[in-house]
Chains A and B, each alone.
Chain A
């Protein structure tokens, strides 16, 4: 039953994927919505940061007509995969709208999978019988589709948001998906430069689970220990990409360990001991414990990350800033990008600055909920599986 034309993660995973990338994030903190054109523009000027093997965007606030529905963006290899996935939707969800993703033929975009979107709510009876929160229920079924329906992949499944990604340059992908027709308060974008050629649409960034997405530029030199650390908590890192460990580490610290975002960022991009030694005693005690406890989770090596979610976004650099990240503000708009040119392509900023190594740049949309996550109670292995779409992730590893 394995797919003939579309490489699966399984074929990627034995090799760690190396690569550089470009990224952007743009958030209007007033909650005002704007079209995806700015995001496309910002990525277009960073064209040379990718090699045409992956581009993508995430938009938040783009489905105001369905604010409480889980918006599923699906990729299907064939009709059979679509039918199998839809059977699951029909059985466990109320489908309020199912339609092909609006796209247009675009030069540079090769053969695309079947792209559909669905606005779903969990079937109340099934949800009650499952004794799960709605978020758990959704993740559970995402995992099920990714791992058991051959040729189907859930690109995103959050409320009032969506991920648009594929194989191509990001400006081509944005054009293909008609992003100028969507309006959102937060957009992130990514341009991929993988040094191998998996050429699979699902492998592009952003990676998403529920409403949180991650775009990432860099290589985590500490991947080996990060993944082993996560395995201790039940996560299975099968994808072989650094982005995956970053996503799980955020999940572990923010949701399961309930760390404040500021401290989670300090754990991932830890301050130097010599700086900790100079802190006030109470702060020092926090930071010393944080580093000692989360040392195996520290992301070491060059990276810039933008974490997107319904309340805004967080951009973070590695601890000695080995990858570019520029930030700017114009009025209520906060923007980050790999290059300042990307910012100036879409706005004439009031101020620009270089976020310091390990200092998170946070955009928070007015009036929206914080913190980041819904109420997930699923074991980490199911979360791993939902993100990566591999069967092997689902082997139960009852650890903690």
Chain B
């Protein structure tokens, strides 16, 4: 009997005429594709198409091709469904995967277009004029109360004015990825870049390694259901604190970091014994309802000297009401994670079938908070597959204050979206704890690439704002009048609060 029906997904082809026989591909591949017998011999079945070997081959003689096996046509039983059945018949297990939902759902961002000024109002050239992206993350008062300063001017009235807010020089932050799921060098790259950019990185649920303390003013520290690494010192170090309730890639699901990834450093940072599995429960066991959340929010505020406390949720059907409850419970921001958001590991069935699109979540949450007159009480962070500055601009126009990028940030560091983070063998040294792999990422090099990416997107945002004839990002935020839809139905337009192109 065959051990598996599953054929290799890719074919690794080496042009041996060009091959130097240097063996670098053997050394580079984290998946063990290559063996060496006078020349590199690939085992196709292990290849994830991560292109590490291709990138480092000095002779450019490796190519990766799809294994285009023909299947008898069936629109209903796609090859990937057939493979899933075979895999599960092999193993009896839940199929795991990494990164975000790859199913062909409607990409709403790609059905939205932005406006530009022509004649009746001037567009603005961001190369010549100021173009402001600065954003304050956190709760704003309903109004500003001032009193005379006795010298002809005004000062803030006692207790008036903005409470603790985090200043961001661009409305793009890095999304939470835990130390453990990604390497310490990834964390260092993100932290250094965040500091340089005047924006934020986010620890995820794995605690804050001591090497990151110098960057703590640019770090959101997360408090998730496993409470890994959470202690008073940790809470006081962060620029803001985030309660993670859910994740777009796996709403309603906890996390499981296998013991093999819990080395000494991870163990110290997470405050758990070395080699034990790190299991995050599905719910917070002290949050079974909204009133419990309020208690945790205020406990964290008390413990941290009243830093902004945000709540991260996955976008699910009733997201507007949930977000409203979160704001009323005292959160300073709501982090909405759409169903295309990435993950280090999740059951594929959950990743691909649970949750709703980010675009809809932003639209309904922003609208609900406005209807209730509490939009100013919390910022909205939008995440879950922000793929470009255009996505960011559209998310902001729909109502988000800030967007968070995770997959895009990892891609800047080398990720090729091979969706194998859960294996712990990442050839690019990102989602692994193997020292021979993690050392492949030089944090300074990584930080520079992240800075480049966010700078590039920020410049593009400035260009978009200039075309729209506004010179500050707050004039785009929630300005759905500047969006039009193409090819969305009437109901969807209504939900998004966007007119179809032509109106």
Contacts and interface: CB of A to CB of B under 8 A. Distances in A.
B472 A285 contact: no
B371 to A, nearest CB: 7
Interface string A267-280: 10010111000000
Contact of B478 (A225, A256, A272): A225
Interface string B157-191: 00011100100000000000000000000000000
Contact of A19 (B120, B132, B134, B469): B120
A289 B132 CA distance: 16
Contacts of A319: 471
B141 A293 contact: yes
A45 B142 CA distance: 44
A298 B472 contact: yes
A232 B481 CA distance: 16
B162 A293 contact: yes
A291 B165 CA distance: 13
A20 B121 CA distance: 8
Nearest to B497: A228
Contacts, number: 139
Interface stretch (A56-64, A99-107, A216-224): A216-224
Contacts of B155: 282-283, 285-286
Contact of B146 (A218, A233, A256, A260): A260
A253 to B, nearest CB: 8
Interface in A244-287: 256-260, 262-263, 267, 270, 272-274, 282-283, 285-286
A301 B480 contact: no
Contact of A295 (B122, B154, B471, B472): B472
Given A18-B120, A218-B121, A224 B141 contact: no
A273 B161 contact: no
A1 interface: no
Contacts of A122: none
Contact of B477 (A19, A219, A225): A225
Nearest to B397: A224
Question: Which of A18, A225, A233, A322 neighbours the largest number of chain B CB atoms within 10 Å of its CB?
Answer: A225
Contacts of A221: 117, 121, 468-470, 475
Contact of B141 (A20, A283, A289, A296): A289
A177 to B, nearest CB: 29
B477 A296 contact: yes
A320 interface: yes
A195 interface: yes
A223 B144 contact: no
Given A300-B475, A302-B121, A320-B129, A293 B144 contact: yes
Contacts of A295: 472, 474-475, 477
Contact of B143 (A222, A223, A224, A293): A293
B111 interface: no
Contacts of B469: 219, 221, 300-302
A302 B121 CA distance: 7
A288 interface: yes
B373 A289 contact: no
B279 to A, nearest CB: 40
A289 B470 contact: no
Nearest to B474: A295
B146 A263 contact: yes
B146 A285 contact: no
A2 interface: no
A16 interface: yes
Interface string B114-128: 000100111010000
Given A274-B130, A399-B371, A292 B120 contact: no
B302 to A, nearest CB: 24
A224 B154 contact: no
B144 A224 contact: no
B154 A219 contact: no
A400 interface: yes
A228 B470 contact: no
Interface of B: 117, 120-122, 124, 129-130, 132, 134, 136, 140-146, 149, 153-156, 160-162, 165, 370-373, 375-376, 468-472, 474-482, 503
Given A288-B162, A399-B371, 10 more contacts: A16-B481, A222-B479, A223-B479, A227-B481, A229-B478, A232-B370, A272-B132, A301-B475, A320-B471, A400-B373
